[in-house]
Structures are given as C-alpha cells and as structure tokens.
C-alpha cells in the first residue's frame, strides 16, 4: 500500500475536504497548495499524478493528531471533531418530488427538429391496429419453435 493510498483512505474515512487537509498540514507548519494535494489523489496513470512522499504523510498524521485531539493546553474530544465534519457535509434534499415522466405524442416529436417529419402527414393513412383473434382475447406471446439440429429426418 502506497502513501497515496493511505492518504486517500484517511480522507474518505474522516470525511475531509482538500481545504481541511491543507489546514491540518498548516497545524504542523507544513505548507502545501490544493493543486499539489490534488495530484496525490489522482490515478497513477494520470499525467499530473505525484507520489506522496514520507514527509508529507508524516506531517499529515502529526497534524491529524493535533486536529483531532487538540494540544495539551486545549484538548479536544475526537468524536466531537468527527461529528462536526459529518455535519459540514451538505445533505441531499430528497424531499423534493421528482417530476413525473410524461410520454410525448408523435405529433409533438415530429416538431422537435432532430427527426424528419413523416411523409404521411396524418394518422389517417396508417392501417388500423389488428384486432384480437377470436378466443380468449389475447395474442400469443411465444411462438412455436422448430429446432433444426442439422439432422435430416425423412
């Protein structure tokens, strides 16, 4: 497991944003920009990928201890800090009802412009739908299939 993987997993587990990671690194007087930090989280085959060095990870872990526990003079409860991170995440508003999908008529689709209008002009020239055959009123969904296995039976 590389340092980049460790940094990614800690970011996800602790629900940290890039600006929060920059602030954590500044607690131990380590300056890094968001773009440099973003290079650590890229895929290995990306052109801007950068390998996270031991010094960056060490400083992040030391800053994380101070961020979560606080200092001797000003101690913090790590659970409170994590709860604060969780509260800062914007929640999706699922209470909005999604609009119903309404099928458009063929006349409305004809005027869309991406398809050429049909030559018939109206539905009058189209043949009527086939009526159900006499019987139970339903058409057969599955047809009878004749299998030909390559052997001629005569």
pLDDT digits (tens, 9 = 90+) for 13-70: 888 899 999 999 999 999 999 999 999 999 999 998 999 999 999 999 999 999 888 8
pLDDT of residue 122: 54
pLDDT of residue 21: 92
Question: What percent of the chain has pLDDT above 70?
Answer: 64
Looking at the predicted structure, is the pLDDT value of residue 133 above 60?
A: no
Comparing 1 with 76, the larger pLDDT belongs to 1
Q: Which residues pair with 70 in a beta bridge?
A: 75
Per-residue exposure over 31-66, b if at least 16 CB sit within 10 Å of its own CB, e if not: ebeeeebebbbeeeeeeeebebeeebbebbeebbee
Of the segments 46-60, 107-121, 122-136, which one has the largest average pLDDT value?
46-60
Domain spans, the chain: 3-88
Comparing 50 with 112, the larger pLDDT belongs to 50
């Amino acid at each position: 497991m590389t340092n980049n993987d460790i940094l990614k997993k800690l970011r996800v587990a602790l629900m940290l944003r890039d600006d929060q990671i920059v602030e954590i690194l500044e607690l131990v007087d380590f300056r890094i920009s968001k773009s440099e930090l973003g290079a650590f989280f890229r895929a290995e085959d990306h052109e801007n990928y950068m390998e996270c060095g031991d010094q960056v990870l060490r400083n992040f872990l030391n800053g994380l201890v101070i961020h979560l526990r606080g200092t001797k003079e000003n101690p913090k409860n790590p659970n409170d800090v994590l709860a604060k991170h969780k509260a800062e995440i914007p929640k999706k508003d699922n209470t909005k009802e999604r609009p119903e999908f309404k099928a458009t008529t063929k006349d409305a689709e004809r005027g869309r412009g991406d398809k050429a209008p049909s030559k018939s002009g109206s539905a009058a020239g189209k043949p009527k739908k086939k009526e159900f055959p006499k019987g139970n009123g339903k058409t057969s969904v599955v047809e009878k299939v004749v299998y030909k296995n390559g052997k001629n039976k005569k």
